[in-house]
Amino acid sequence: MDTKGRSFSNFSRAKEFYAEIFESELHIQEVMGTQMAFFNATDGGVGGAVCHGENYTPSAEGTIPYLNGGTDLAPILSRVETSGGVVVVPKTKISDEVDYFAFFMDTEGNKISFILRINFGLL
């Protein structure tokens, strides 16, 4: 998962939201005046962080990260809703080659996507 560059107006709420949906503890660190909560990057997985600082503004516009939603989007989308987020586009088939995606709004108003890749060798 990689949420680098996502900003949050309520850092504690955002940290808890992402910890709940990914069922993983985030590790807090301050870097050059920016609060960051880092995801665990285990077994060669992609890591990242949620950030809060003076020059960060949550947004549903602009770049949308596409995060690995695992092998089934239903459980993680369910956790989005029970953790205070909103699913704005449910699991949707893209094509036989690209598989599925979904969009959600996190607790701070950032628009994020999950992608489910069944055919990993095609991209």
CA atoms of 76 and 90, how far apart (whole Å): 11
Ranges of the chain with pLDDT below 70: 1-8, 43-46, 118-123
Enumerate the domain spans of the chain.
Answer: 11-122
pLDDT at 2: 40
Give CATH superfamily name and number for 11-122.
2,3-Dihydroxybiphenyl 1,2-Dioxygenase, domain 1 (3.10.180.10)
Edge-to-edge, what's the strand order for the sheet holding 27-31?
Answer: 27-31, 34-38, 49-52
Residue with tokens 């909103």: 86
Q: Is 75 helix (H, G, I), strand (E, B) or coil?
A: helix
For the entire predicted model, the pTM comes to 0.80
Cα three-residue angle 44-45-50, rounded to 5 degrees: 135
Q: Give the pLDDT score at 35.
A: 92
Distance separating the N- and C-terminal Cα atoms of the chain: 17
Q: Residue 5's pLDDT is what?
A: 47
Secondary structure (3-state) at 35: strand
